[in-house]
Amino acid sequence: MKTLDKKNRSLKDIRISVTDKCNFRCGYCMPKDIYNSSYQFLKKAEILSFEEIELLVNSFSDLGVEKVRLTGGEPLLRKNIHKLVERIKVNNKIKDVCITTNGVLMTKEAVNNLKLSGLDRITFSLDSINESSFKKISDTNYTPSDVIQGIENALSAGFKNTKINVVIKKGINDNEIVDILSYFKNHDIEIRFIEFMDVGNTNDWSFEKVFGRDQILNEIEKKYTINKVKDLAQSSTSEVWSYDYGRFGIISSVTKPFCTNCTRIRLTCDGKLYNCLFSSNGYDIMKFIRPFYMDDKLINFLSNLWKSRDDSYSLDRKKIITVNKVKDKAEMSYIGG
Ligand code: SAM
Ligand code: SF4
Ligand code: SF4
C-alpha cells in the first residue's frame, strides 16, 4: 500500500533505535556532562522486544516500508542483535536491512553472526583517524584502530556497500577530510561526510560550527579531481561524487536540505514514532503493542499519521530557529539519527 504525506512523499524507510545507551560520549550526540552516572536511561521493561520490533516492521511493510536501519545509541549493545536481523529478514517485502554502528563491538564473531543473519549492509561512524582527536570527539577510551578493526572484520566477512559516516565540525576535524578519504582509498568503502546538525538540545550547535558541503568539497578538490555522480535513489540523503579512487558522499542537512525527498520515519526503542529527526513530539504506539498487538488499529493509526505529516525542518531551519524557537527536540541517541 502506498501512503503519501501532505508533501506527496511516500513512506519507504524506517530507522529503529534499539537502545538509548552507548559506549561512546560523542559531544555532538551524548555530551558527558548530561549523559553521566546520574542520567536515567530507559529501563529494560520499557524497551521494545525483538518480537515486538519484528511485528512492527511487518506492519510498516504493509504501508510500503522496504528499508530498515537499526541504530541507537549503539545498536551492538543490544545483546544478540543478529537475532533481530534474522527476524526482520523473514519478511520479503523488506529489501534492505542495515546497521549504523560506532564499530568497536564489531568483533569477528559479531560480523559473522550478522552476515549469517542476512544483514545487507553496515554503516560505520568514524570522525577521526588521529588518536587524540578521536578521543576528544568520542570521549571514550577506544581508539580509531578499534573502529578500523571492526571495519576490516566486516569487509573480511564479505559485507558490501560498506559506508563510513564522518561528522565534520568546524575547527575540530575539518583538517582531516582528505586524510580520512585517503586512508580508505584502497578499501571498497564509501565515506560520507555529514554536516554537524542541530539535533536535540544538548550539543551546543550553532551555524558557525558547521563546516558545510561546499567547504568539504573545496578541501577534497585541493587533492583530488572530483565529479558529481547523478543521484541514484530519489530518497537518498547523500549526494555522491567520484574522486580518483572511488566515491564519497556528503549529507548536507544544513546547507542543502533534502526534505522534499524524505521518505523515512523513526521509531525509538520505547515505541515512539517521529516523523522528523527534529521533531519535539513522538507518537506513542505502545498502546497498540501491549498487552496485545493490534495490527489493524495500528496500521490505521500509522497511515493517518503519515498522511498528516508536513515536516520539513531543515528547509525551514533559519526561520524556525530565529522566529519559532523549537524547544525540546528529541535527542539523537534516543531518536537514532
Ligand atoms: N552509535 C551509532 C553510531 O554512532 O554510528 C549509531 C547511532 S548515531 C546517533 C547515528 C549517526 O548519527 C552517526 O553516524 C553519528 O555520527 C550521527 N550523528 C550523531 N549526532 C549528530 C549530529 N549532531 N550531527 C550530525 N550527525 C550526527
Ligand atoms: Fe554513541 Fe553514536 Fe551518539 Fe557517538 S554518535 S554518542 S557513538 S550514539
Ligand atoms: Fe526528513 Fe525532517 Fe530531515 Fe527534512 S529535516 S530530511 S523532513 S528528517
- Ligand 2 site, residue 123, Cβ cutoff 6 A: no
What's the mean pLDDT in 218-227?
A: 98
Higher pLDDT, 139 or 319: 139
SS (H, E, C) the chain: CCCECCCCCECCEEEEECCCCCCCCCCCCCCCCCCCCCCCCCCHHHCCCHHHHHHHHHHHHHCCCCEEEEECCCHHHCCCHHHHHHHHHCCCCCCEEEEEECCCCCCHHHHHHHHHHCCCEEEEECCCCCHHHHHHHHCCCCCHHHHHHHHHHHHHCCCCCEEEEEEEECCCCHHHHHHHHHHCCCCCEEEEEEECCCCCCCCCCCHHHECCHHHHHHHHHCCCCCEEECCCCCCCCCEEEEECCEEEEEECCCCCCCHHHCCEEEECCCCEEECCCCCCCCEECHHHCCCCCCHHHHHHHHHHHHHCCCCCHHHHHHHHHHHHCCCCCCCHHHHCC
pTM: 0.97
User: What percentage of the chain has pLDDT greater than the value 90?
Assistant: 89
Multiple choice CATH, 13-335, 3.20.20.70, 1.10.540.10, 3.40.50.300, 3.40.50.1820: 3.20.20.70
Residue 47 — very low, low, confident or very high, per pLDDT cuts 50/70/90?
very high
- Ligand 3 site, residue 274, Cβ cutoff 6 A: no
User: What is the pLDDT, as a whole number, of residue 327?
Assistant: 67
- Ligand 3 site, residue 263, Cβ cutoff 6 A: no
User: What is the pLDDT, as a whole number, of residue 100?
Assistant: 98
Q: Which of 239, 264, 273, 278, when mutated, tests ligand 3's pocket best, judged by the most ligand atoms within 8 Å of its CB?
A: 278
